[in-house]
Amino acid sequence: MVADPSERSSRTTRITRDSSRQFQELRDARHQWAASREILAALGRAVDNPGQVLDTVLEYAARLCGAHAVQLFLLDGDVFRVERVSGDTPEAYRAYLLDHPIARSRSSTVGRAAEDMRTNQIADVLSDAEYGRHDLQKLTGFRTLLSTPMILQDEVVGVLSMWRTDVKPFDDRERELLEEFAAQGAIALRLESRGAELASKVGQLEALREVGEAVGSSLDRDEVLDRIVSNAVRLTGTDGGSIMEYDESGDSFHVRAASGSSPDLVEQLRAITIDRGSTLVGRTALERKPLEVPDLAQAELDPHLEILFRDGWRSVLAVPLLRGDRMVGVLVIRRRTVGTFPPEVSELLQGFATQSALAIVNARLFRELQTKTKELEIASQHKSDFLASMSHELRTPLNAVIGFSEVLLDRMFGEINERQDEYLRDILNSGRHLLELLNEILDLSKVEAGQMVLEPSTFGVGSALEYTLKMVRERATQHAITVTVDVADGVDTVVADELRFKQVVLNLLSNAVKFTPDGGSVSVRAYREGTDLVVTVADTGIGVPPEDQERIFESFQQGRRGAPKEEGTGLGLTLSRRIVGLFGGRLWLKSTPGSGSTFGFSVPGLPEREDEVASPERDKLPVVVLVDDDRASLDLLSVYLDGSGTRVLRARDGVEALEQIRRVPPVAVVLDIKLPRLDGWQVLAELKADPATAAIPVVIASVVDDRPRGLAEGADEYLLKPIRRDELVDALRRLGALGESS
């Protein structure tokens, strides 16, 4: 009986992990679009200054790829000389590198990238026998290196290289990002070398930026491809074009977008299958480079070219759409006149090709994830239906097991002997244990299926805690464990689902009693943190080793918490954490092995209070106000500031933010832009307009990419989401809001 539910629950966990991995992928993809859009926007702003383009490329590459440093090398004769360096590199190293350029050989990742004309990674230079630049390694301490060539007209002109000082290979996404940056950098290099062509290139870059924005902002593949192809045709001064997507399953190409083409022509193009073997499009894909037909009348025509020729087209240029090593499709540009295409046209089209490939891949990824998400939802629904009916079926016979044991134990039908009494108690306890397990499985499946509906009401915190205390009192007394409850001043009622609140407290409390040795103590505290109620349950048990402190929140993982006096279900903590999550709070553990554990959870829903009653140690701490409408973001930012020596107060909209800031003047405000009621810009304006608050430093933390406006309107720092812990901490430190040591 026990094996069955546990097996099912591990499947539950697996499905949950699968789905969270899917969402992670989708999030990664979104971040990458955001990144592409961000760099294109930055490039657009820097377009009249090629040097600044290069700096932007390096800066973004370092930030978005999580590299410690990024450097640009240019080919000078037969060596690579460093041209620009971003990130944190010692001055001595820069000087040394100028005097000791890098050879075009296999002794470095830069040399290898140039020689192979493709991206090269060394996961750990210290275990790469061929690696020969240990002089540089010693100066910087780098371990993982990634380099990608910058190619102009089939020649390597430079190499973009980045490193990490820990052994942590760059993943495919980071590699692709660096390749994209290299492509952008190459264009900038060209601009720098040809001042005269600047004006026209500016137009091209702007068009690319526009296309880039379309790619980033729309998931409608055909719409994006239409914009790409019409921009490509316009900027190259040609008459028409189309984008073909490669279909791997059919090993053929299909028209996805067209420009300068009659509906009739588009229909004809859609009707044919362009295979990979014998067509111009197919050969472009195979050879991975642009191919042209200057005069269709003189060429051998495949079915695709045949249609074009009959429609009056005379010359064609095809450019492959590649995403890393993957063939995604082909961009075709055509003219009604005969003649070869100038090299600039082909070069420019390659920029469009990169964006087209990105759009196609994004759209595919998104479709795939949508399908998988749907499948997972269905699987999850089946699972919870199954669990609901299973638990009902199991519960009915358990009722009989429990009930008849009680009948006999109560001597309803006569006396029983001591051993019978003992065995009956065993049966009764096992039955109750199974029942508890069933209830928790059912609850957990409800939470996971999103079917647990909370019924909030206003109830007294003290009496709810007393109630749960009553449930464990008998057991605690048996083991001489002292249990105390302390409700802080200012905590009276809370708005939450009372039943679920008690369930969580009872779970923590019964665990605490269970894992505390005889004669120990358990203390329950409730206090206020802003508008959150915090409840902690501390025991004097054996504690939880650091390596297990996350694991015990997973299903069926309580085993190693020492030798329990009685088995728990192994689901209680998982369930409690999920329920607290539904409340909009969080559940945590602080434990030192040998001196006990403290489990705590927060529940939003305490009534607002005009003046915070003094809590001496906390009130001395400087206050940081976090403003975000998304609770998950607030939680993350709060976690980032844990142990930073500040007291975090939160606000969920602009009005609340202003109230909060005026009530307790903070040392800094971390402000989101998209907020209900008053948005971040309005909050910023209000703060700056009021002499009482004008001096409070503001860090904008948003997905809205408008640093210039933020700084112009008085923000001190501008962080783009997603934000890492060190970005936030560093920003607050620069503003003097955090001490140096924290």
List of residues contacting other proteins (CB under 8 A): 392, 395-400, 402-404, 406-407, 410, 412-413, 435, 439, 442-443, 455, 499
Residue 193 or 389: which CB sits closer to other proteins? 389
Residue 339 or 397: which CB sits closer to other proteins? 397
Beta bridge partners of 539: 522
Nearest to 503 by CA among 571, 412, 414: 571
In the complex, least distance from residue 512 CB atom to other proteins, rounded to whole angstroms: 23
Distances in Å between the alpha carbon of 573 and those of 495, 527, 569? 22, 21, 9
Residue 3 or 413: which CB sits closer to other proteins? 413
CA gap 206, 202 in Å, rounded: 6
Q: Which residue has the tokens 């088995």?
A: 567
392: three-class secondary structure by DSSP: helix
Nearest to 308 by CA among 341, 261, 342, 254: 261
433: three-class secondary structure by DSSP: helix
CA gap 582, 588 in Å, rounded: 15
In the complex, least distance from residue 466 CB atom to other proteins, rounded to whole angstroms: 21
Residue 376 or 435: which CB sits closer to other proteins? 435
Cα 278 → chain centroid: 43
Report the Cα–Cα distance between both ends of the chain, in Å, rounded: 51
Residue 111 or 568: which CB sits closer to other proteins? 568
Token couple for 543 = 């504690």
In the complex, least distance from residue 414 CB atom to other proteins, rounded to whole angstroms: 11
Pairing outcome for strands 698-702 and 717-720: parallel
Residue 218 or 429: which CB sits closer to other proteins? 429
In the complex, least distance from residue 656 CB atom to other proteins, rounded to whole angstroms: 32
For the chain, what percentages of helix, strand and coil (3-state, to nearest 5) are there?
50, 20, 30
In the complex, least distance from residue 455 CB atom to other proteins, rounded to whole angstroms: 7
In the complex, least distance from residue 587 CB atom to other proteins, rounded to whole angstroms: 20
Eight-state DSSP code of residue 273? -
Instruction: Report whether 164 contacts 67 (CB < 8 A).
Output: yes
In the complex, least distance from residue 281 CB atom to other proteins, rounded to whole angstroms: 59
Residue 408 or 641: which CB sits closer to other proteins? 408
In the complex, least distance from residue 396 CB atom to other proteins, rounded to whole angstroms: 5
CA gap 343, 33 in Å, rounded: 29
In the complex, least distance from residue 407 CB atom to other proteins, rounded to whole angstroms: 5
Residue 340 or 399: which CB sits closer to other proteins? 399
In the complex, least distance from residue 413 CB atom to other proteins, rounded to whole angstroms: 8
Residue 213 or 440: which CB sits closer to other proteins? 440
Residue 337 or 399: which CB sits closer to other proteins? 399
Whether the link from the prior residue into 722 is cis, omega within 30° of 0, is: yes
Residue 183 or 452: which CB sits closer to other proteins? 452
Distances in Å between the alpha carbon of 655 and those of 464, 612, 661, 670? 33, 19, 10, 15
Sign of CA dihedral 333, 338, 343, 345: negative
Nearest to 65 by CA among 187, 171, 210: 171
Q: Which residue has the tokens 């607290």?
A: 580
In the complex, least distance from residue 406 CB atom to other proteins, rounded to whole angstroms: 4
- 252-276: b or e for each residue (b if 16 or more CB lie within 10 Å)? bbbbbbbbbbeeebeebbeebebbb
Residue 455 or 617: which CB sits closer to other proteins? 455
In the complex, least distance from residue 461 CB atom to other proteins, rounded to whole angstroms: 22
Distances in Å between the alpha carbon of 588 and those of 189, 349, 454, 511? 52, 54, 21, 14
In the complex, least distance from residue 464 CB atom to other proteins, rounded to whole angstroms: 17
Residue 167 or 407: which CB sits closer to other proteins? 407
Residue 497 or 548: which CB sits closer to other proteins? 497
528: three-class secondary structure by DSSP: strand
Nearest to 189 by CA among 172, 176, 201, 203: 201
Token couple for 703 = 């997905």
Contacts of 3 (CB under 8 A, 6+ apart): none
Instruction: Report whether 262 contacts 310 (CB < 8 A).
Output: no
Task: Quickly list H helices, 641-723.
Answer: 654-663, 680-689, 707-712
In the complex, least distance from residue 432 CB atom to other proteins, rounded to whole angstroms: 9
